[in-house]
Amino acid sequence: MERRKFIQDTAGFGLVALPFTKVWQRFRFPFSVMYNRELSGPQKPVFIYNNWSAYDELSDNVAQTEALAMQELNEIIRLKTSGVEIDYYVMDAFWFDIDGGYRTWHKQHWPNGPDKWLAVCKENNIIPGMWFSTNLVAMGGKTALAIIPEWGDSVGTDPNILCLFDGGYLNHLSATLQIWYNKGVRLFKFDFAYFEAVTSAMKDKYSPDEIKEKNKVAFMNMLQHFRAKNPDVLITGYNGFGGDMENTYTAFDKKIDPRWLDTFDTLYCGDPRFSDVPMMNVWRSQDNYSDHQISAYKAYGMPMRRIDNCAFMIGKTGTCYYRATHCWKGMLILELARGGWVNVYHGNLELLNDDDAKWFAKTQSLYRELQQQDKFSTFGAIPGKGMLYGFKAAGKMGEVFTVINPSQEIATIILPSDVAKSKLLYADGGYKPLVKGNSLTLGPEQLVVVGFGGYANEDFDLGTDETIRIPHTISTLNVLFKETGKNTLESAVHNIPSKNIRIVLQQFDANGLPHRSWGGAPPDGKKISEFIKIVPTQNGKEVQMHIGNDRVIWSGLSWAVGEIDKKDIDRTNALNILCISTEKESMRLRAEIYAVGYE
């Protein structure tokens, strides 16, 4: 589920919205100076820590506190001693007090305010940043910001959102940004924009489309005037500024309003979530979502360096599905390989030890030099199609290819390079990729990095991630599934090979599109494995199976994948497979079975 929609649903109201004041009558476009969109945005690659997912007050109940925030600041300082680059520290949502109008920090969690945090950032050459909701005042089903007197005449007909072109809210917000700029804040993150917000006084004067336009133009004007006064700011946009974040199959037809590129330095392309491509390694499916969103936002008109893929998120909260550091190395590589100039790292940095920090720094160093050249491109299939694809980066010494095989097969791709010399720089553990010139063979669900020319060098070797096991062999079993009831498939496997058995189940709606089941968010949500079920049995007893979707997933999931270890299978009897969707609507289920071998 889209994060913006998730907030909307859990808050219990229906919205859509964004917005500055009476400048609308003067300018059809947001500002008298239009920036060159190829030259605007960050002036160089930057590296940002954001403390979201170290805490989580939306899809979990872990509060942001000064103690937590300062602990992560100390972790940043520790990582920097190992060579990790972090330029900014962004204080994400809920730093503010409910009654403070964005000018007072949470009185219980920050009793002494932010001065200590700001001072320690300054002492360590870390630039502070802050999160702001664009115009939403209720989050997670409760009021997050009380209406202060200065905002009162901007309250919308839906009281959970504030109008941006009428009343005093936007002028007050602009002055608030300047207050924090004067205290040293240089990065401003805007989230949850609802441009349909309108006051009762304006509701009948304009059409819905005019209201949205007036809100947009007002907000663009405010931010561009703020940037003109403070040219060293970095302004990033998150939920509500265009694009489709819901799934990985929708056509790329939602163009981004190009005026946002004159307002924001970068726009993000969606909170990390699992794609509609099923994988045994659920974390690789999460990578696939963000990979897909890069292709989508390119199609929406965004230059790659202006896309914030927002995909590196380690942590112990529901927003990152309690991922901790599972498969974090591949996640970091892809965060950097997607070519954006805003590289954001979220979560519990204490989960990374000093050896991790050294590897982090080495990987960052390789891709930082490539990002500076700004010659990134995509190749292969659209990631959501579930076929081979990757990212190409041309640097001073040659080329680096980051390649992903999201399929359930060993596959070969010809990399688009004319450089003769090549070297494997990184691979997920298990299957040994074969590199021969520009031909690369990868295992199922495998991530590989290949260097060409001067990058085909031991100095850039990133090793393997042995916490990941890619199969050495995989083959489809010719097994017939039959419908045995509503949303139910059954099959029996005879002549079972002496290998692990992997079952892949997908559910589709009546139109044949992937359908995500959603059981809510932590701490009270239900696991997706309760909605999309794979039940293997032998001799009347359920067989032990590892499933990656046995977790609460706030964004929903359209599939399940399970694998049975060969040691748990009785090969003298049939293995029965039952696949069930508990959705009330009729689903179209599709299941496949694979024999999987590991050395």
Domain ranges of the chain: 1-26+91-224, 379-468, 475-597
State residue 16's pLDDT score. 32
Quickly state the pLDDT bin for 254 (edges 50, 70, 90): confident
d(CA 52, CA 64): 9
Range with the lowest mean pLDDT among 32-41, 423-432, 522-531? 32-41
Phi, psi of 568 (to 5 degrees): -95, 10
State residue 93's pLDDT score. 97
d(CA 539, CA 572): 10
3-class state of residue 388 by DSSP: coil
Sign for the CA dihedral angle at 8, 307, 90, 53 comes to positive
Nearest CA-CA partner of 374 in 85, 38, 35, 36: 38
Quickly state the pLDDT bin for 3 (edges 50, 70, 90): low
Side-chain-side CA neighbours of 406 within 13 Å: the count stands at 27
d(CA 78, CA 350): 9
Residue 514 reports pLDDT greater than 50 = yes
d(CA 531, CA 506): 12
User: Encoding tokens for residue 465?
Assistant: 């991630």
Residue 21 reports pLDDT greater than 90 = no
Tens digits of residue pLDDT in 385-428? 999 999 999 999 999 999 999 999 999 999 999 988 999 999 99
Quickly state the pLDDT bin for 312 (edges 50, 70, 90): very high
d(CA 524, CA 61): 10
Phi, psi of 337 (to 5 degrees): -75, -15
**What DSSP character marks residue 139?**
E
3-class state of residue 352 by DSSP: coil
d(CA 199, CA 189): 25
Residue 27 reports pLDDT greater than 60 = no
**What DSSP character marks residue 315?**
B
CB atoms within 10 A of CB 13: 15
Quickly state the pLDDT bin for 523 (edges 50, 70, 90): confident
Check if the beta carbon of residue 241 is closer than 8 Å to that of residue 54: no
d(CA 494, CA 593): 12
Return mean pLDDT, the chain: 93
CB atoms within 10 A of CB 32: 12
Tell me the residue length of the chain: 599
- The two domains 379-468 and 475-597 share their CATH topology (first three levels equal): no
Quickly state the pLDDT bin for 59 (edges 50, 70, 90): confident
3-class state of residue 413 by DSSP: strand
Q: Which amino acid is at 297?
A: Y
Nearest CA-CA partner of 530 in 555, 503, 492, 557: 557
Check if the beta carbon of residue 553 is closer than 8 Å to that of residue 526: no
Tens digits of residue pLDDT in 273-309? 999 999 999 999 999 999 999 999 999 999 999 999 9
Residue with tokens 């304009």: 206
DSSP-assigned states of every residue in 143-209: ESS---GGGGGGB-SSTTBB-SSSSSHHHHHHHHHHHHHHTT--EEEEE---TT---TTTTTTS-HH
Residue 488's beta-bridge partner residues? 485, 580
User: Encoding tokens for residue 466?
Assistant: 């042995």
Range with the lowest mean pLDDT among 93-102, 453-462, 516-525, 567-576? 516-525
Cis peptide bond prior to 523, omega within 30° of 0: yes
Query: Span 475-597: which CATH code?
Result: 2.60.120
Tens digits of residue pLDDT in 420-452? 899 999 999 999 999 999 999 999 999 999 999
User: Encoding tokens for residue 289?
Assistant: 């979502």
State residue 521's pLDDT score. 84
State residue 297's pLDDT score. 97
Tens digits of residue pLDDT in 108-140? 999 999 999 999 999 999 999 999 999 999 987
CA angle 68–71–77, rounded 5-degree value:
145
State residue 141's pLDDT score. 80
381 by Cβ neighbours in 10 Å (0-12 / 13-18 / 19+) ranks as middle
State residue 524's pLDDT score. 83
d(CA 467, CA 211): 52
Percent with pLDDT over 70 in the chain: 93
Helices 208-229, 169-182: axis angle to 10 degrees equals: 20
**What b-and-e string marks burial along 423-439, b requiring 16 or more CB atoms within 10 Å of the CB?**
bbbbbbebbebebeebe
pTM: 0.94
5 by Cβ neighbours in 10 Å (0-12 / 13-18 / 19+) ranks as middle
State residue 4's pLDDT score. 52
CA 545 to chain centre: 28
Nearest CA-CA partner of 218 in 158, 161, 169, 156: 169
Tens digits of residue pLDDT in 482-501? 999 999 999 999 999 999 99
* Fold of the domain built from segment(s) 379-468: Immunoglobulin-like (2.60.40)
Check if the beta carbon of residue 248 is closer than 8 Å to that of residue 275: yes
Quickly state the pLDDT bin for 1 (edges 50, 70, 90): low
State residue 38's pLDDT score. 53
Nearest CA-CA partner of 240 in 142, 330, 138, 135: 135
